[in-house]
Amino acid sequence: MSRADPPDPALPDYAERGLTEAPADPGEIPENEAAAASAVVAAVKARNRIGPDLTPLRFPAYRRLFFGSAITVVGSQLTAVAVQQEIFSLTGSSTWVGVASLVALVPLIIFGLIGGAVADTYDRRKLVIITSTGIGVTAAGLWLQAHLQLHSVALIMALLALQQLFFAVNQPTRSAIIPRIIPIEYVPSANTLNFTLFGFGVLVGPLLAGILIPLIGLQWLYFVDAVTLLAVLYAVIRLPPIPPLRERTGRAKVLDGLSFLRTRPLLLMTFVVDIIAMFFGLPRALFPQMAEQTFGGPPGGGIQLGLLNAGMAIGVVIGGLTGGWIHRVHRQGVAIVIAILVWGASMTFLGLSTAIWVAVAMLAVGGWADMVSAAYRSTILQVEVSDDMRGRMQGVFTVVVAGGPRLADLAHGLVAGAFGTAVAVAGGGVLVIVLTVVAARLGPSLWRYDTRHRSAAQPDGTT
């Protein structure tokens, strides 16, 4: 990293943060509002060291995005459940449900990388408007085909793939926006709130879908998802323009982003430890077998399966609601390593457990640890990267988060088929612990990372 120059005092406040003009109701932080937020922060810190840090919500742009996402995250889970249920109802085969998961993964991987480059080339506000509209239109298409009873698995998968294409561009773009609309010091708190929100959606969405399908019919879940996208569209439309901070002679290139990553050991290590944690320590593919054979659940599901699927989301939500301390940690690399070690230990005990309540408790601990790790890893990728590379780094993050769990499903399935679920889950947890220690030893940049030693951020986000 190069040492930053001090901000140019000749630049107006909005120019320092990369905005092209001072809009009427911007996502930027006016001086009077920043002062008010600082006073609130001091008061909150004085009385709240455990509860969630809500300071990012003091800034209008982030507040609108957050509450808009609070609605859409539940809607997206409704569509996820509806797609699986509709395909299973049409085919009677779980294999076709698995194929649908693969169909959704391919555009995420391909266009996650491309989407990051696009986010570094064009106005991010416009991109989120376009892609959010695309996600909403495809959800409406899914509703229409279900309402017309077309019974076409191919059409469902085509619409699903198109929706994931839009999402693959939307997600890294929205993540890259965060450091442009709130002060850098509040990015960890904003990420904690975002992951808490996602955990809430994963927890509530499927439950709500189970309630709504018998009441209003499966097709209306798609319709609800399409309507909820309007909340995010409203929030994004109210943002100021967020163009690239530096003039470009051409489009940002994906390979340039990958080359950049190879020269940044700290950033690379955040991906390495995440892949270790997910590939070896995420046994969600074994939940149906464990629910039935280990915890005595009925064939085809039951409360045991529901509890296993909800366990990690419970931990994420608890972590967010008690995450007021997260933004105060300076040794964020150490926190990442410790969180992943806790994740590995919890998965080890999960594999050895025979009581459902112990299993859920271990999954909740693992979900808490994963939330902490994810909050810090996302923050490093946002604050330690220049603005012209943020989109591409978030694109890589999207690919890793999307692809890692699918590879974990395959690996755990193969090992469980050969040696049983206990060996697959507990053995994977042990490997997470061992390999994380080895990685931290071989890649010391992560362990040594300290925000107090980070160079001051330039106005354009470079360090």
Q: Is the pLDDT of residue 43 over 50?
A: no
Q: What is the pTM of this model?
A: 0.74
- Alpha-helical (H) ranges within 4-123 are 13-16, 31-47, 60-91, 94-119
End-to-end CA distance of the chain: 6
DSSP string, 355-402: SHHHHHHHHHHHHHHHHHHHHHHHHHHHHSS-HHHHHHHHHHHHHHHH
Q: How is residue 340 annotated by DSSP?
A: H
Q: Which residue in 82, 60, 70, 85 sits closest to 228, CA to CA?
A: 70
What domains are there in the chain, each with its CATH number? 13-453 (1.20.1250.20)
Host H or E run for residue 337: helix 332-352
The total of other beta-carbon atoms located within 10 Å of residue 463's CB is 16
Q: For residue range 325-362, what is the model confidence (pLDDT) as tens digits?
A: 888 888 999 999 999 999 999 999 999 999 999 999 99
pLDDT surpassing 80 at residue 426 = yes
Q: Which of the four pLDDT bands, split at 50, 70 and 90, describes residue 252?
A: low
pLDDT in tens, 195-224: 888 888 888 887 788 788 888 888 999 999
How many Å apart are CA 68 and CA 228, to the nearest integer? 8
Quickly list DSSP for 209-267: HHHHHHHH-THHHHHHHHHHHHHHHHHHHTSPP---SS--SS---HHHHHHHHHT-HHH
pLDDT of residue 300: 61
